[in-house]
Structure 1
Amino acid sequence: MNVFYNKEGIGDVLIISLKDIPYEQKRFERKGDVVKIFDAETNETAGFNIFQATSYFSLDGNGQLDVTAEMVEKINQTIAQNGFSDKLEADLSPKFVVGHVLEKEKHPNADKLSVCKVDVGDEVLQIVCGAPNVAAGQKVVVAKVGAVMPSGMVIKEAELRGISSSGMICSAKELNLPNAPKEKGILVLEDSRKPGEPFFK
């Protein structure tokens, strides 16, 4: 679940995004201040827009908002109050975590890509990486599936040149860190960092 708010850009609307669906398959149902977006083919819920958002929520930020258990509860209350029976759940685990590169192999179909096995604490992910400096043994920053990058890009399951990739090994520039180097390359962390621990405290 990703939640966005930008009063200056689009007005007093809270946008809740659950999954991407093609625009031509999107259908909308409105009850009160809430619009439900769903897939016309599968009937899966893709998200909600809550209008007059500040009459339901205390909102003091712009862009992507931190999703908390309290926010999810309040969203569910608002949806129910406006006549929908949906109940949302959110994965509140950190999406930017420390990873340990266990293996790095050359991508079989692309000269400049590597296929990495990365320990992120509770699982080992396969991630295709294009950075020239990635190597086995490094501690790195992994954006897991569902992470929203500072650029606004949402990290999804992907297939790159025929190889599946679950996440992204990040550079300092991609993380919008101050004094990020201009040259290409992932951010390599101190070896004392533990796989799975949140990168952003």
Structure 2
Amino acid sequence: MSRKFEGDRILIATHNAGKLEEMSELFAPLGITVVGAKEMQLEEPEETEDTFIGNARIKAHAAVKATGLPALADDSGIQVAALDNAPGVYTADWAETPNGRDFIMAMNKTHDLLEQANAPHPRAARFCATLVLAWPDGHDEVVEGFVDGTFVWPMRGETGHGYDPIFQPLGETRTFAEMSHDEKNSMSHRSDAFKKLLSQCFE
């Protein structure tokens, strides 16, 4: 049986400002105070698993151990069908540079690989999000969310973060980066996972 969350403060185990903002907006109607890992001066744990669930668990439990607060961790990424679902769990790794993450570079890399593979259009893609909510006693709850779409080129839009400028959800004419925060949050993979988490742990 799923455990219900009864506190009024939750740690979001991410240093990603975009993810933290998105989570803060999703939690706002619940009256739950959100604090980020950077604000708590937490180090980022090494993500050694090869699944979204495994890496989300690492982050959630590390944050709980460091703070004693219930923690919610996200591990997410984009899967491109013609690249055997790469980059997947390595989405952020593809953006790593000595000076931080460069998602423009990562999107160019993905496009170049699709061109080298002569992948046909439309180029199916899927955003995946896994949320793990962990408690200090070691219990956790896991949910997964998805949104299907296509990889589009060139990049379009100025909002959002990560791969948003090249992802066009099915049924839409705009990329995530061309939508407002509210529009994206209503249909994103993280929103899908969050709705499942609400049903599982908060309602």
- With structure 1 as the length reference, what TM-score do the two structures score? 0.28
Higher helix share: 2
Higher strand share: 1
Larger radius of gyration: 1
- With structure 2 as the length reference, what TM-score do the two structures score? 0.28
Q: Which has the higher contact order (CA 8 A, sep 6+)?
A: 2
